[in-house]
Amino acid sequence: MITGRKIILVLITALVIVGCSSSSDDGPSSKTDDFNRGALLTNLVDNTIIPAFEDLQVKLLALKANKDVFIVAPNQINLEALRMSWIEAYKVWQSVEVFNIGKAEELQYSFQMNVYPTNVLDIENNISSGTYDLTNVNNNDAVGFPAVDYLLYGIGNDDMAILNKYLDIKYKNYLADVIDQMASLTQIVLDDWKTVYRTTFVNSIANTATSSLNKFVNDFIFYYEKGLRANKIGIPAGNFSTTPLPEKIEAFYNQDISKELALEALNAVQNLFNGKAYLSATIGESFKSYLNHLDRNDLVGLINTRFDDARQKIEALHDNFNIQINTDNTKMTQAFDALQLTVVSLKVDMLQAFNVSVDFVDADGD
């Protein structure tokens, strides 16, 4: 006997089946994902990662050579040459920091290269004592590019006072040790890419939590969201605090390059997304071509438009972010807002298209 209750259950079941079958027609394309991940990874390594690390190492060796000259003769001419080589290396670093994978992740390379603001008290204590372990995590904020920034621009009120500091052998030794460590660490990471890790990386083509593309796309988004959007713009502008924090800008002691570094970082991110090779016009398989393969040309266009919009906002800022924050911080927060729009496109829409899960904890509520 068919009761009224059974009839209702049958109707509900039928409605659920119809609803589920029709919903699949309304979302993004369900095209089979047969994209050649290996080609993307190969292009990434051979045309961007290794060339960028090679260029960074060339710049760091030039920095090291100029440091050696300066230590022998700490005069104004040699100080300027040393500063210029530091700037050139720091600009290249903006194309390398995103690659926190493989040996770089193992060594916590980025933490030993670019933790800012640098800790002046730790640096001065290290110099005073003359004994220190620069690889210790407690010294992460006393080494790398930010530490050299302080040592070249911040240890005196003017250049004469800075040069006088280097009459003390302890300051010479610390400057030398910090720069030598940067070059040494970079060589270790570069050698690993060129010998062992390249093969491991390009052959890991599965869609798993530990495969190369899944890990790197997460690193890419994490860097964009935290390393670029938050660290370079949002934190100094006060987006995560009750008041602006201009002392937290990158290159605090040579503030005139803060915008230049941010633009270098954004350009590097967009070139990675589009598959443009480092320092050449070569275009290869990329996140862009992967999305196009999945019929998500719309998302490609949106992401590039948002990158371009963010660049316009950053370009409108003062070269010196400290001045910008203290005179018209609204423009800084507008730049942050423009960068934030791309976070949604990358972290939600692109990852969904690739069927990749987020593997990092979001700490700032986005």
Task: Please list, in sequence order, all residues whose beta carbon lies within 8 angstroms of the beta carbon of residue 326, skipping any fewer than 6 positions away.
Answer: 244, 246
276 strand-pairing partners: 283
The continuous run of DSSP H or E covering 350 comes out as none
244 assigned to some structural domain: yes
Q: Is residue 283 classed as helix, strand or coil in its secondary structure? A: strand
Give 6's pLDDT tier (boundaries 50, 70, 90).
very low
Count of domains observed in the chain: 2
Contact in structure between 188 and 44 (CB atoms under 8 Å): no
Question: What is the domain-level CATH number for residue 258?
Answer: 1.20.1420.20
Tell me, yes or no, whether 318 and 330 share the same domain.
yes
Structural domain ending residue among the three candidates 152, 174, 205: 205
How confident is the model over 345-366, as a mean pLDDT? Answer: 86
Would 17 be classed as within a structural domain?
no
Structural domain for 261, as ranges: 207-366
Residue 130 has φ and ψ, to the nearest 5°, of 80, 0
Q: Residue 18's pLDDT is what?
A: 37
Which string of DSSP letters, residue by residue, matches 17-81? HHHHHHHTTTSS--------HHHHHHHHIIIIIHHHHHHHHHHHHHHHHHHHHHHHS--HHHHHH
Mean pLDDT to the nearest integer, 117-123: 98
pLDDT above 80 for 72: yes
Question: Is 26 a member of any domain?
Answer: no
Q: Which residues contact 225 (CB under 8 A, 6 or more apart)?
A: 343, 346, 347, 366
Residue pointed to by tokens 């052998």: 169
User: Contact at 8 Å (CB) between 204 and 197?
Assistant: no
Looking at the fold, whether 339 and 246 belong to one and the same domain comes out as: yes
Q: Could you tell me what percent of the chain has a pLDDT over 70?
A: 90
pLDDT for 8 equals: 38
Model confidence pLDDT, tens digit, residues 149-206: 999 999 999 999 999 999 999 999 999 999 999 999 999 999 999 999 999 999 999 9
CA dihedral 148, 152, 157, 163 (to 10 degrees): 130
pLDDT digits (tens, 9 = 90+) for 304-335: 999 999 999 999 999 999 999 999 999 999 99
39 within some domain: yes
Q: What number of other Cβ atoms are within 10 A of residue 333's Cβ? A: 17
Apex CA 54: angle with CA 205 and CA 63, to 5°? 145
Same domain, 100 and 67: yes
Q: Which residues pair with 283 in a beta bridge?
A: 276
Q: Comparing 1 with 67, which gets the higher pLDDT?
A: 67
Yes or no: say if 257 and 90 are a contact pair by the CB < 8 Å rule: yes
Q: Does position 1 have pLDDT exceeding 50, yes or no?
A: no
What integer best gives the mean pLDDT of the chain?
92
DSSP H/E element including 220: helix 212-222
Rg (C-alpha) for the chain, rounded Å, is 24
Judged on CB neighbours under 10 Å (0-12, 13-18, 19+), 352 is: middle
Let me know: does 133 contact 168? Beta carbons within 8 Å: no
Q: For residues 175 and 346, what is the distance between their CA atoms, to the nearest angstrom?
A: 39
For 27-60, the pLDDT digits (tens) are 445 567 899 999 999 999 999 999 999 999 999 9
Q: Does 217 lie in the same domain as 156? A: no
Has residue 362 been placed in a domain?
A: yes
In a domain, 1, yes or no: no
Please report whether residue 175 resides in a domain. yes
Q: Are residues 329 and 310 in the same domain?
A: yes
Rounded to two decimals, the pTM is: 0.91
Non-local (6+) Cβ contacts of 243 within 8 A are none
> 35 and 41 in contact (C-beta within 8 Å)?
no
